[in-house]
Amino acid sequence: MKKFGKRIFAGALLGVFCMTAFAGCAKSIDGTQTAATAQGEEISLGMVSLLARYQQVKIGGFYGSMMGDTSGSFWDNIEDEETGETYGDSVVKDSVEQIQKMCVLRQKAQEMEISLSEKDRQKITEATQAFMDGNDQEVLKKIGVSKEDVEGYLELSAYQEKMREEIIKDVDTEVSDEEAQQTTITYTKVSYDADADDGVKAEKKELAQEILDEVLATAEADMESIAKELDEESVTSNVHYSANDEEDDTVEQALKDGVADLKDSEVNSSLIEGEDGYYIVRLEQRFDEEATEREKETILGEREDELFSSTTQEWYDAADLQMNEKVLAGIEITSKDAYVQKQTEVAEEEAETEEEVETEEEAETEEGAEDTAE
């Protein structure tokens, strides 16, 4: 897992200085002002602005590609009706809190005599310079970000990873086959609306039966191809679920029950009625070794996250963390002040790094949003 931690650190450096293209119309801010403190340590507005704009780029890119909202109008939506806080405001607040926590971690690291290596510091220096060289100086001035802010943030990121490695080093790494066991099935669903009458349900059942009969009659049947020929609206999925976790709701219980007495590669000879449709199901592997090994990594990662979170939360709760709301008001994330990330060789390298990390951890979601070309 140490290898994973090191990859994350490298990715963090790339992720920050890859933010190379901004465009906006808001007034410039004075990044030298003190935006917050953590145990008396001052945090500059420029550092908060750096992280807030970086988050704006990543989240904005995600919404643009996944939700089709390229205008960024969602930043103006009210998130907290009681306070009137917008989604843009919440990103600024979250950015401050993240940096405050990182400061606490660095302080704890120094108490524990944990330090950065010369190689770590060289990476930070190179990453900082690349960021400064890659961004228009007028834009950096407008958002109040200095070289010291970038270098300071990257140092905090490095300490955060060092502390994570230290905290999780004693986590229980033993995960049994029984705890992680994954069962893999393939199923085709012929759906009907929740309010469908008996006549519609009967038609869907007849259609599903036709698919099942064809699947049973075909050796090593391609369920999806067969289903699509008979019902274009049918959906075929190959999924795995935790065999010994009763709370796993990846698939309907009816499907789990439907493969309970099957051998690997067998198809249930009867239709299975679910909540809103009929299923044809095949048990691929009751004990999927590959999927089980990936689940072990997921379980281990969850243990590490839980230990890291519980340990650090105690420190954060006990720390003196202050925010200067008046100064922080200078950072405005709105639909009228948009920032984007230009595609660069560095961005491509970042994407490759993140892909490697996700492959190793079988991540279900992309931490980085897709790059948005100017």
Condensed to tens digits (0 to 9), the pLDDT of residues 79-126 reads: 988 888 999 999 999 999 999 999 999 999 999 999 999 999 999 999
CA distance 238 to 250: 11
125, amino acid identity: T
- Reply yes or no on whether the pLDDT at 374 is more than 80: no
Q: Give me the percent of the chain exceeding a pLDDT of 90.
A: 67
Question: What pLDDT, in 10s, does the model give residues 272-304?
Answer: 999 999 999 999 999 999 999 999 999 999 999
Say if CB 24 and CB 135 are below 8 A apart: no
Q: Give the pLDDT band (50/70/90) at residue 8.
A: very low
Distance CA 283, CA 279 (A): 13
Q: Where are the alpha helices (DSSP H) in 112-240?
A: 118-134, 137-142, 147-168, 177-180, 198-217, 223-230
Sign of CA dihedral 73, 355, 224, 296: negative
| Higher pLDDT pick, 91 / 349 | 91
Confidence check: pLDDT of 199 > 90: yes
Closest CA to 257 of 187, 344, 332: 187
pLDDT band at 353 (very low <50, low <70, confident <90, very high): very low
- Name the least confident of 24-33, 101-110, 132-141, 211-220: 24-33
Q: What does the alpha-carbon distance between residue 308 and residue 239 come to, in Å, rounded to a whole number?
A: 30
What confidence tier does 343 reach under pLDDT thresholds 50, 70, 90? low
Residue 16 has pLDDT above 60, yes or no: no
Q: Confirm if 125 and 151 have CB atoms less than 8 A apart.
A: yes
Mean pLDDT of 35-58: 95
pLDDT of 363 above 90: no
For the sheet with 321-323, list strands across it: 41-44, 34-38, 321-323
Average pLDDT along the chain: 85
Could you tell me the end-to-end alpha-carbon distance of the chain, in angstroms, rounded to an integer?
A: 37
CA distance 269 to 334: 57
Is the pLDDT higher at 350 or at 157? 157
pLDDT surpassing 80 at residue 336 = yes
Alpha-carbon span 110 to 160, nearest angstrom: 12
pLDDT band with cut points at 50, 70 and 90 for residue 238: very high
Domains of the chain: residue spans and CATH: 2-172+295-361 (no CATH), 182-286 (3.10.50.40)
What pLDDT, on a 0 to 100 scale, did the predictor assign at position 35?
A: 98
Question: Is residue 12 predicted with pLDDT exceeding 80?
Answer: no
* Comparison of pLDDT for 202 and 60, the residue scoring more: 202
Return the exposure string of 322-335: e unless at least 16 CB atoms fall within 10 Å of the residue's CB, then b: bbbeebbebbbbbb
Q: Alpha-carbon distance 342 to 285, whole Å?
A: 44
For residue 22, what is the enclosing H or E element?
strand 21-22
Query: Please, are residues 53 and 40 in contact by the beta-carbon 8 Å criterion?
Result: no
pLDDT of residue 109: 98
Q: What is the largest CA-CA distance in the chain?
A: 74
Distance CA 151, CA 146 (A): 9
Phi and psi of 188, rounded to 5°?
Answer: -115, 135
Tens digit of pLDDT for each residue in 141-194? 989 999 999 999 999 999 999 999 999 999 999 999 999 999 999 999 999 998
Question: Which structure tokens are listed for 37?
Answer: 């403190």
Output the pLDDT for position 47. 97
